[in-house]
């Protein structure tokens, strides 16, 4: 094999073919690409920058021989040269499609299982379980996994999706877009023994059992342009508490005006929770024309960006917290909100209405069991 350059001195920069740099950069970032492919792409990119072979080997955690191999393969064949070469050995006898076809059929009732495992199917087909595993990997079959779904039955689905996506992608001038919702039933949990802190070589550990001291509800209004959050903590989440929170929002933004001295519009994105549509809430909103309400489609509260922020609160302040009382829980959530507003950032929506609706349409299936 002819190697380019010596291991102890820089080799000349590798010349990339037109258009290959963008594809190689994509391969290094893509989550669906194997680690081996990503490493090869990074080797070629570093070689194109004129990085020494020894330095490339250090950066990608490989040997210099490996670096030289992929340099030569790319120079000879381009991107196709980075693919795996055909393996030596006996030709394959088992048909992966036969294995996949058997996998897609439900297991016999006598087995009493809901889905196949590699060993169960291997025993049924009289082959090795590793052969089954290889076929599943080749065709992306994962019988052990399952996901849930729910279709929106909202008759105004298209209109609401188009409205909210348009609001996110092109907000009205002289207006503020606020995503409003409540996170209810936040539990004040206290562990039965003190948490064992993280140490070198050990993660944080906590007892499985806990004391439950009560719950609280977090109301939040997220300004998507800045990431700033207006929040309130209340013991319940009825329409009375929601109306009080709307009044808090009005006070917070009362003095925000445009260049002409006119109060800016407040566009609220909300889901279809009953408290949001209560008669008293509707009456108050009718008296405050500054508020413009945009409801998400039914079963599509994920379109409300405040849900993303609620996820951040849950992960960073609640899930691993220890709370001696509801008051303690509220205090720590308020501390998180204060810290968040000091470091907040815009929340950016990227999907168009057409892209959302394309995924929202019910998929068809050729499976006669559906």
* Beta pairing partners, 267: 177, 292
Confidence of residue 30 (pLDDT cuts 50, 70, 90): confident
pLDDT at 369 over 50: no
Q: Considering only 3-7, 95-99, 236-240, which range has the smallest mean pLDDT?
A: 3-7
Same domain, 66 and 169: no
Question: pLDDT, tens digit, for every residue of 202-260?
Answer: 888 888 888 899 999 999 999 999 999 999 999 999 999 999 999 999 999 998 888 78
Same domain, 326 and 216: yes
Look over the chain and give the mean of its residue pLDDT values, rounded to a whole number: 88
The enclosing domain of 341 has a CATH number of 3.30.420.10
Question: Is 364 contained in some domain?
Answer: no
Question: Is 6 contained in some domain?
Answer: no
Residue numbers of the domain that contains 124: 96-139
Question: pLDDT, tens digit, for every residue of 253-294?
Answer: 998 888 787 888 999 999 999 999 999 999 999 999 999 999
Same domain, 25 and 174: no
Among 202, 201, 235, 200, smallest CA distance to 216 is for 235
Same domain, 131 and 163: no
Confidence of residue 361 (pLDDT cuts 50, 70, 90): low
pLDDT at 166 over 60: yes
In the chain, % of residues over pLDDT 70 = 93
pLDDT at 119 over 50: yes
Question: Is 147 contained in some domain?
Answer: no
Q: Is 268 helix (H, G, I), strand (E, B) or coil?
A: strand
Same domain, 216 and 324: yes
In the chain, % of residues over pLDDT 90 = 58
Same domain, 296 and 332: yes
Same domain, 181 and 257: yes
Q: Strand (E) positions, the chain?
A: 175-191, 210-223, 229-234, 265-270, 291-295
Question: Is 360 contained in some domain?
Answer: no
184: number of Cβ within 10 Å: 15
Same domain, 345 and 203: yes
Q: Choose between 342 and 154: higher pLDDT.
A: 342
**What is the average pLDDT across 310-325?**
92
Confidence of residue 305 (pLDDT cuts 50, 70, 90): very high
**Cα→Cα distances 302→115, 181, 309, 322, Å:** 30, 11, 11, 28
Which strands, in side-by-side order, build the sheet including 291-295?
229-234, 210-223, 175-191, 265-270, 291-295
Question: Is 366 contained in some domain?
Answer: no
Total of domains in the chain:
3
**What is the average pLDDT across 293-300?**
91
Question: Is 361 contained in some domain?
Answer: no
Same domain, 210 and 272: yes
Confidence of residue 7 (pLDDT cuts 50, 70, 90): very low
Same domain, 325 and 197: yes
**What is the average pLDDT across 301-329?**
92
Q: How far apart are CA 282 and CA 275, in angstroms?
A: 10
Q: Which contacts of 226-230 are long-range, i.e. CB under 8 A and separated by 24 or more positions?
A: 226/344, 226/346, 227/340, 227/344, 227/345, 227/346, 227/347, 228/341, 228/344, 229/309, 229/337, 229/340, 229/341, 229/344, 230/178
Question: Is 15 contained in some domain?
Answer: no
Question: Is 152 contained in some domain?
Answer: no
Predicted TM-score of the model (pTM): 0.67
Same domain, 171 and 132: no
Same domain, 309 and 216: yes
What is the predicted pLDDT for the residue at 204?
85
């Amino acid at each position: 094999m002819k190697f380019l350059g010596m291991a102890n001195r820089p080799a000349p920069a590798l010349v990339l073919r037109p258009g290959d740099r963008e594809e190689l950069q994509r391969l290094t970032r893509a989550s669906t690409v194997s680690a081996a492919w990503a490493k090869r792409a990074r080797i070629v990119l570093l070689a194109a920058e004129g990085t020494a072979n020894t330095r490339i080997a250090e950066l990608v955690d490989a040997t210099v021989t490996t670096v030289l191999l992929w340099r030569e393969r790319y120079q000879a064949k381009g991107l196709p040269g980075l693919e795996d070469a055909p393996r030596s050995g006996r030709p394959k006898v088992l048909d992966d499609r036969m294995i996949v076809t058997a996998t897609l059929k439900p297991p016999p009732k006598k087995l009493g299982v809901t889905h196949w495992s590699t060993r169960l199917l291997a025993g049924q087909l009289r082959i090795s379980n590793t052969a089954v595993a290889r076929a599943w990997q080749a065709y992306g079959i994962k019988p052990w996994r399952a996901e849930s779904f729910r279709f929106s039955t909202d008759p105004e689905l298209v209109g609401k999706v188009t409205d909210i996506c348009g609001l996110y992608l092109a907000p009205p001038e002289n207006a503020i877009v606020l995503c409003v919702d409540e996170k209810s039933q936040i539990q004040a949990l206290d562990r039965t023994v003190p948490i064992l802190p993280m140490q070198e070589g050990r993660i944080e550990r906590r007892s499985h059992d806990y004391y439950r001291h009560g719950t609280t509800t977090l109301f939040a209004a997220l300004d998507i342009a800045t990431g700033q959050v207006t929040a309130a903590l209340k013991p319940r989440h009825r329409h009375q508490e929601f109306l009080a929170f709307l009044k808090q929002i009005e006070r917070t933004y009362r003095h925000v005006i445009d260049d002409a001295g006119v109060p800016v519009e407040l566009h609220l994105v909300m889901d279809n929770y009953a408290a949001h549509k209560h008669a008293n809430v509707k009456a108050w909103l009718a008296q405050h024309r500054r508020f413009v309400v945009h409801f998400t489609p039914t079963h599509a509260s994920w379109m409300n960006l405040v849900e993303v922020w609620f996820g951040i609160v849950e992960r960073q302040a609640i899930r691993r917290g220890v709370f001696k009382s509801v008051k303690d829980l509220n205090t720590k959530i308020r501390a998180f909100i204060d810290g968040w507003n000091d470091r907040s950032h815009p929340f950016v929506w990227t999907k168009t209405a057409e892209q959302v609706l394309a995924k929202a349409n019910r998929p068809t299936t050729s499976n006669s069991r559906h």
